[in-house]
Structures are given as structure tokens and as C-alpha cells.
Structure 1
């Protein structure tokens, strides 16, 4: 009997899992299919393998010969997930309720099945496992995915909505900066937060707000606030050279406090690791489709490295 194994079966989204298949025929052509559904959003990925002489496939050691990614990558099935045409109602995998897990389903199919034909194939064996925490949430309202994942790493986190939520402004142009200053004061005074300062994490427009807070909150800039600036060289939304301009405009004695990392081949939306790489999205606030840029493999590698750097940065500077 064909046996599909996943270890661990329950994991955080920033943790790697091991996928193996046993009891197949030696040198058998097989396809491993990964599927996840979240509401009306359905994503699939697949990888083509040739079993070894023992009739086994180890995704962490064996190269994918085709499908949605190629080469040896233990998490390739995850970051190469794509919306299913005609079924998925969105181009982003969004998790609104971060208190519930994502459930991924794995199947093993005979032969190398093209991605577009996956719905017509019958699996040899199938199973499912949980990937806890969350993935990509909305770009407006309360965006909790990153806060939830950081909280799982021991940080006291506060996901702050700042437009298009309840009675908040519907336009970014109408945001009151004092709103953020009050939020910082509230979080810093919370009994679960250790004294000595807080960290601010932002993406896209939120990253700009994080810079402003670092320079204006409780004399943070005067007290040598540290900045980790992560961006993609292939960003189609922001010009990467703005990062160098930002550093040049800072006081010379403060530039040593800024760590700039530019990822070749990465686009605009650098998210936690192993989640589907998105090179475009429908922006509800602007009413248009935005091209994020980036090359899938390079962007996936950037997301993994950026998350590692972010955790190290926060652990280093928030514990001081």
C-alpha cells in the first residue's frame, strides 16, 4: 500500500515540513499535488518526481522534474501554489480568522500530470495535515497574519487597522498621524509589554509609516532607533533606489543604525516564508490590479531570508 508521510503534521507557516512517499514502484513517474481551500479561494500546486530504486520519493532530497516548480526544495509545493482558474475567486490566499488553521491536502498521482489537468486525475493516495497560524490577509482593515505569526514566536503583538475599517478613513490621504502615536503609547503601557521601547513592522505603505514612527515616537530617533529595510530589486510598485535616497537623507551619524537588504529578483510583496508568491494583486483601495514584480523562485528565497532576518532583528533589539 502506498504510504504518504508528512512530518510534522501540525506546524506554523514559517516552519518546514518533510514530505515522503513510500511503497511505489522503482523508477515510477508520479505527481505530488498540494491543495488548500480558504472560503472561495482555492490554490493548487504540483511537482513531478521519479521514484528511486526503493520506490520512494523524498521531497526534501529529490528534484522536482516539472510542475509548478523545479529542483530540490522541501517547501517548493507551498510557495509555488497557484489559484485554480475558474474556481478560485481571488489571486491571493487570504486568512481572515487567524485563530483557525489552514488545512493542506496532499495527493499522489500516477505519472507526470500537467498542472492544468490536475482536476481530471485520480489520486493513488491522499491525506491532509494542518499548517497552523496564517498566511496572507487583507491589505486593508485589520491585517493580522504577521502579528499572529510573530506572537507565536513570543512577541506581544498589536495589529493596528488604519483605514477602511469601522469608522476609520476610507482614504490613505485622510489618515491622522496622531492615531499611530496614540497606539504606540497604548501598546508601550500594556502590562504584557516589557519596558524599554517597542518595534514596528510594516509592509508597503505600512513600511513608510514604520519609518515615520521610528523617527518621531518618544525621541526614538534621538535614542538610536534601529531600522531593518528589506526590499526587492524587481519591485514594480516602489523604486528600489528610494531606499538609498532614504539613507542618504538621514543624518550621517544615524546611517549606521540602518540595515538595508536588497533582494535580486524579488518583487514588492515580501511576506512570511513558504506561502504562495504573488506577482500581482487586486487592490480594493485603489480599484485596480497592481503588478508586484518579482521572479517566483527568487522571491520565495527572499521571503525565507527576510523572515529569518526580521526575527533576529526583533530578538536582538527588543531584548536590550
Structure 2
């Protein structure tokens, strides 16, 4: 299913050190106010208000500045208007983005550099530094907008919740089922055909509201290896978000024209039971890089896509942290730095959208029984908040047709620390 919700914007500009302000709007009702004045010194707080919205309407606030070295810094916050249609950052909490909670100056201190390892540089204190504040709200426009193919987990059909929420961020999303949905086969097929996914990518790229040149792929679990295969063998993919997936083909063989990638064979003897008596299949899938399994490893070094690998450290479905590390190592071995890796301590397998209830166990369609999925509820919740922000920023950054790819390898143990 194709989802689209575009955005219009209201822009206010704040000058620091020397004072000047301007306001541009294509909506007569929406107004951005900067109190006590849109002109201030850098160490003075700014009170940001937005008026003229619909009651309880959700909007995205974005901040941007460029330092004296030309490095761009950005931050964002998803907020909801109150009953009167007003957003007041002194009392309106951010529900997602670069920070969460009530932080009146969050759009400033939460800015991150687009160029890795960059510190904000200000040499000439007599010259102004300008911050752009944008308010994007849900008035539909014609685009074009970034396009994303959302491929959900095995047996889950499609995730219209995830797709529609992402569409609310100004992205055209095609939620694609590949089995177990409506009139599709209810059981796992004998193989998956990559040409089916190729047709979906072609269809999405041809939509007039989708900006080029490439699209993104959002995946989780089994669809993770399908996403890596798409990025490796198909054209037109610029950004691939892989969540708790595998770096090798799993479950059934993958066919593409004359190519067949076998599925990696599970080791049944490695299946154990949790203390509560539920199947634990985490170690059933063997190391893909060992002898006899390498033919199932997906050759992602072929891809020109950017990759976001997100893995939970307490994923009991399989060892997604190992698979993420191996995928990154393979790219690095081939001289590529087109990836980011983030790992979440105490989080389980199903990293969904924010505030989705934690699923510690459930029926596994390939196993045919209930299995443990892992994770602690609060840590899992925090991981979902952090990852949802990262996914949006990842697609915005790498699906901008005017953006040139940055070379950066980021290892993060989100949301509490950093790996070396």
C-alpha cells in the first residue's frame, strides 16, 4: 500500500550576536514567534512558540545553522499542539526527533553536525550566526518527496502502522507484503523471487511524487536479508535500514534470474529452552562466515547504498549483533565506509515504532511454535524511541537528491554510550 503525506513549512530566522530576523510563510494561519525577541546573544534562551495550528495537531520543528567552516548542524522535534492550536517549547514535550521531553532550548543544544566529528566553529564574533527554525505541518502538497519501500517481518504481512507514521514525516512509503497477507500464500513458500521486489522498487520510483535518484528500504527480521539482497543486486536503492536482520539469506532460497542464493541451515541441536519453558532459538542459526555457510552470505560490497544496521543485544530470535558486525566488517574489508551500526543493550528482537508494547515472546511462523524474542520492557522502549529518530534522519540525509554521500563509520551503543 502506498502512503503519502506531504508537508508545508513556515520558516523563522534568528540571528545571534548581530540582530536581524525574517519570517516567511505559505500559510496565513500559522505563525512562529520567538520571544522575547528574535534577536539575542548566543547565551540567552529563546522562547519558541507556534500559533495557528489545529487542536492537538502534530508538527515537526527543525533547526539548522551553518558555522564559519561551512559545516551544517541540524536538530528536530516532533511536538503536538495544545487544545488551542499552540506549540510552546517551554511546556510542549518533544515526542521524538533529536531529543524527547520538555526542553525549551532542545532545538539548539541537540543539533548534530552533518559532517562527522565536527565541532561548531565560530571565528568572527562580529559577524552574525543564523539559525533557521522550520515548522512542518500536515498540509498535503505535490512533492516530490523521498520514497521508501517498507518490507516487514516473516509472516507479518505489512506494517501499515510503521509505513503510515513514516508517511506523516513527508515520505512516500510503499508497504510491501511478500507472503501471508490477504490472498497471498499463508505458509512459507519454497523460495523467494527477488524479481518480485524489483517490480515494487520500479513501481515506487516511477511515482511522480517520489524524488530521485534513489529510494530507501526499511526492513526488520527476515526482511533484513531481503533488503540487503535488494541493495546488492538491484539498482536505484540509496539507503537501506536493516533492523535485527541477518547478513546471510535465511529460511528459504532466494532466486534472481539465473542466480540462486541458498538459505543458511539452522542447527537444531542449538535450540534451548528459556527458564519459563519457551523455545530459545537464538543460536540455531550458525555463524554465516564459517566453512559451508559462506555461500548464503549476501555480497553487500556490490551495493552503492548507504546502510544503517540496528541490532538488539538481547535479541533471542538470532544473533543480530554478530550479523551486523559481520556486515560492517565485510564492507570495511572492501574499502567501504557507507554504513552506520547502532546496538541497543537489553532490547529484544521486535524494534517497532515508539510506544509500541514490548513483545518478549510470540509465535514464529518458520518454527511453528512460540519462541522467546528477548528484551526488557523499558530498555526496549528507549531503543524504539532512539531508533525511530535515527531511521527518519537516515532517510532524510541519504534520500535527498542534492545530497552527496558522507564517508563515515559510526558505532553506537544506543541510547547510552558509544563503542570505539
| C-alpha separation in 2, matches of 1:157 and 1:290 | 31
For 1:147, the equivalent position in structure 2 comes to 163
Equivalent residue of 2:218, what SS?
Answer: coil
Contact 2:232 2:303 in 1 (8 A): no
Query: Are residues 1:213 and 2:293 paired?
Result: no
Paired with 1:249 and 1:200, the residues of 2 have a C-alpha distance of 20
Alignment TM-score, normalising by the size of structure 1: 0.55
**Aligned with residue 298 of structure 1, among 379, 391, 414:** 379
User: Is 2:207 the counterpart of 1:190?
Assistant: yes
Q: Which stretches in structure 1 are left out of the alignment for 5+ residues?
A: 1-7, 20-57, 61-72, 75-135
| Superposed counterparts of 1:1-320, under 5 Å | 139-165=155-181, 166-168=183-185, 170-218=187-235, 224-239=304-319, 240-250=321-331, 252-253=333-334, 255-284=336-365, 286-319=367-400, 320=403
Q: Supply the RMSD in Å over aligned alpha carbons.
A: 3.3
| Residue in structure 2 matched with residue 81 of structure 1 by the alignment | none
Structure 2 counterpart of 1:50: none
SS in 2 for 1:193: coil
Shift of 1:271: 0.7
Cα displacement string for residues 87-122 of structure 1 (whole angstroms, at most 9, x for unaligned residues): xxxxxxxxxxxxxxxxxxxxxxxxxxxxxxxxxxxx
Contact 1:140 1:285 (C-alpha < 8 Å) held by counterparts: no
Query: How many pairs were matched up?
Result: 202
Kept after mapping to 1: 8 A contact 2:215/2:236:
no
Deviation for aligned residue 1:245: 1.7
Where 2:215 maps in the other structure, the secondary structure is coil
Q: Is the 8 A contact 2:312 2:348 kept in 1?
A: yes
1:196 and 1:293 map into 2 onto residues whose CA distance is 38
TM-score (norm 2): 0.43
Query: Shift of the alpha carbon at 1:231?
Result: 0.8
Distance across 2 between alignment mates of 1:16 and 1:298: 23
Change (3 A) 1:152 1:140: same
Q: Distance in 2 between matches of 1:279 and 1:289?
A: 11
Which structure 2 residue ranges, 5 or more long, are not aligned? 1-54, 60-76, 83-90, 94-99, 102-151, 238-300, 404-420
Q: Please say which structure displays the higher CA radius of gyration.
A: 2
Q: Is the CA contact 2:362–2:373 (under 8 Å) kept in the aligned structure 1? A: yes
Q: Describe the superposition over 1:132-169 as per-residue Cα deviations: whole angstroms up to 9, x where unpaired.
A: xxxx9995223311111110111000000100231447
